Copies of this chain bind each other. A is one copy, B any other.
């Protein structure tokens, strides 16, 4: 992974030491080092359909991997029930062979009301048994206890690993392993970024510190961060980033009453450069932009050498590989935004494989931690999300 930054802020070096301290008690940092022999407990599950029942942090990372690797031929199929929308729940279930499916109930707290509602619905046509269900939850949560009682294969989420930072824990690894994805490579990619950041005085550390410094310093001015990804494969990675960034950084500062935070926007290059780009180019100067590119799509598809009468002007595209075209589009917009003095950086991964996605996950988790530290917030809690849950419970109780 290469990352080039087109701005150069001053950096407060103390932040690095604070993150090193935080690493001792926040769980996600060391997930790339975990022993994954526990995943062999999954080898007895051979179902073709793998159904993740979980919301937000419990599903988005897994989905990001599955979408990213969607171009590969796969024997199994991954499904997500991550909503209370009855129409979608039924659509998803319709696409599954219920007799050849394993259901993963994923809830960190073990009591997420929507997840349990969907779980109960599934139980109306499939009895709870240890062949077709797997639980992923905190130790000693209500769901964990159901697992003990009913002898369900249950995987634990460490207490100090937050839901939105859990892609490299059992939350992500269990469904990805069941799908046959190379989870070792995923962790290896993450470990590469981890080691580069914590052990070596190198560019990764520099760049992450610079980016976080810039975001924090200009938070009032540039209150929006756009991720401009140049491949459809990133669609759900964008969504994963949006929830991570929004929920981690939108907070009251620890030592003040000030509400801070940065608003993430996920864009897909070839589509959004035809529309949203207008707002970035001519709208208020309130956005930073990160471009994500794939250097080598491993795909030789070309625009054929075909001239169409009346469209001869567009023969300039003849014989050009689509992967060249999409990256040239990216480079054009990068040049365009540089001319417009938009603060931007460019990330380029070598090719679309799980190793590089592991790098990206860890890179963005680190960037979130650093930015949170600089903004002066608690990156790992979510008091604002809890308020609505309390109101919902009241409404249900009074129904």
Contacts and interface: CB of A to CB of B under 8 A. Distances in A.
Given A275-B57, A301-B89, A306 B120 contact: yes
A68 to B, nearest CB: 10
A282 B383 contact: yes
A395 to B, nearest CB: 5
Contacts of A343: none
Contacts of A322: 84-86, 89, 117, 121
Contact of A250 (B70, B232, B278, B303): B278
A376 interface: no
A399 B278 CA distance: 26
A311 B128 CA distance: 14
Contact of A297 (B87, B325, B332): B87
Contact of A271 (B56, B89, B143): B56
Given A149-B309, A274-B385, A299 B86 contact: yes
Interface residues of A, number: 112
Contacts of A333: 388, 391
A196 interface: no
Contacts of A306: 120, 123-124
A241 to B, nearest CB: 11
Interface in A310-327: 310-311, 313-314, 316-318, 320-323, 325-326
With a 10 A CB-CB cut-off, give which of A120, A285, A309, A336 has the most chain B CB atoms.
A120
A158 interface: no
Contacts of A303: 117, 120-121
Interface string A228-269: 001111000000001100110111100000011101010010
A202 interface: no
B317 A396 contact: yes
A8 interface: no
Contacts of A206: none
Contact of A278 (B71, B86, B246): B246
A164 interface: yes
A310 B121 contact: no
Contacts of A281: 250, 384-385, 387
Interface of A: 55-57, 70-71, 82-91, 111, 113-114, 116-117, 120-121, 123-124, 142-143, 145-146, 149, 164, 223-224, 230-233, 242-243, 246-247, 249-252, 259-261, 263, 265, 268, 270-287, 297, 299, 301, 303-304, 306, 308-311, 313-314, 316-318, 320-323, 325-326, 328-329, 331-333, 335-336, 339, 352, 382-385, 387-389, 391-393, 395-397, 399
28 contacts: A55-B271, A56-B275, A70-B91, A83-B232, A84-B326, A85-B230, A86-B322, A90-B301, A120-B304, A121-B322, A124-B306, A145-B310, A146-B308, A223-B286, A224-B263, A243-B274, A246-B283, A247-B276, A249-B283, A250-B282, A251-B278, A278-B385, A281-B385, A281-B387, A332-B389, A335-B388, A336-B391, A339-B387
Given A335-B391, A336-B387, 11 more contacts: A56-B274, A83-B270, A86-B297, A89-B301, A117-B325, A224-B224, A247-B279, A251-B282, A259-B283, A320-B396, A328-B396
